[in-house]
Amino acid sequence: MSAIYRQKTTLEQWRILQAVVDHGGYAHAAEALNKSQSSLNHAVAKLQDQLGVEMLTVIGRKAHLTPIGEVMLRRSRQLTTLVTELEQLADNLNKGWEPQIRLALEMSFDRQQIVPALTEFQLHSRGSRLIIEDTVLTGSVEHILEQTADIVITHQLPKGVVGEPIANYRFDLVVSADHPLAREAQPVSPDILSQHLQIVIRDTARKPVEAEGWLKAEQRWTVTNFAEALRLVQAGIGFCWLPAFATQSAPGIQRVEVSGSSHRAGALYLVLPKNETTGPCARLLYDLLRQHLTITETTATDPSTTL
């Protein structure tokens, strides 16, 4: 049985070394740490003696790292950061701060819009993990009703649930430029549309309910995301209802108008499924999303999302 390794150094010694380097010398580091300069000299000298390597040399009044010191300092920062995060996590858990939160996003929502909020959230998340999950149709409703997500962005509000309108969505029916529907007189009748293969996005609910969208095509292929649907559309295999952000840079795509429906549109809502029991970390992200996502007008259009 191997002997238990006992460390020679302390975190305090490494933190002092970092302070001496960061502040350019012992005098400024001592002032910043509210310690005597002699105690810092002693701590660094002992650290070097315990490890048997020279990490700092003093030239004039300024401390300089040796090549070995540069390597050791870089690794020590990883160590002290990890310990700080560990201690902070324990404090957060003790105060009710969630170690993990789940954000469910309706796939019709353009993810690029939440990047500023997530960037700011990362600075204040205190090490909590964030899970971002794509949802489609009744999958979003399921997360709300079963409270399996902390925050949901959805186009559907179940009865009795309130949400903050934060964006609008729009879906267009698209085909490849060489698809037969692209050569039909516009607008195309639903009867003609039903004769062609439709590509749909799979509902993410455990028990999906086909209560929305145009699903009358005799042939349907189901995929799990917009990227796969777009590839099939570009290949000329079928038609699909897709949002503008998914097709705006795609070559060879053409919009098709259908009699009675030039496009599908509606509002997207920010929802807190757990209401008053929402934890402080999830509440922080919710508030940041509200700040960064603004909507100037909520149009009363067809509330269904056709995928």
pLDDT at residue 204 in the model: 85
pLDDT at residue 215 in the model: 58
Angle at which helices 26-33 and 11-22 cross, to 10°:
120
Mean confidence (pLDDT) of the chain: 86
Name the H helices within 95-176.
Answer: 115-124, 138-146
Report strand pairing: 264-271 vs 151-154: antiparallel
Please tell us whether the domain made up of 11-94 is placed in CATH 1.10.10.10.
Answer: yes
Specify the higher pLDDT residue, 305 or 11.
11
Fold adopted by 100-307: D-Maltodextrin-Binding Protein; domain 2 (3.40.190)
pLDDT at residue 289 in the model: 95
Buried b / exposed e along 204-218 (16+ C-beta atoms within 10 A)? bbeeeeeebbbeebe
Where do the domains of the chain lie? 11-94, 100-307
Same fold yes or no, 11-94 and 100-307: no
Residue 3: which pLDDT band, with cuts at 50, 70 and 90? Answer: low
Q: 216-257: per-residue pLDDT in tens?
A: 667 889 999 999 999 999 999 999 999 988 988 889 899 999
Total-model pTM: 0.65
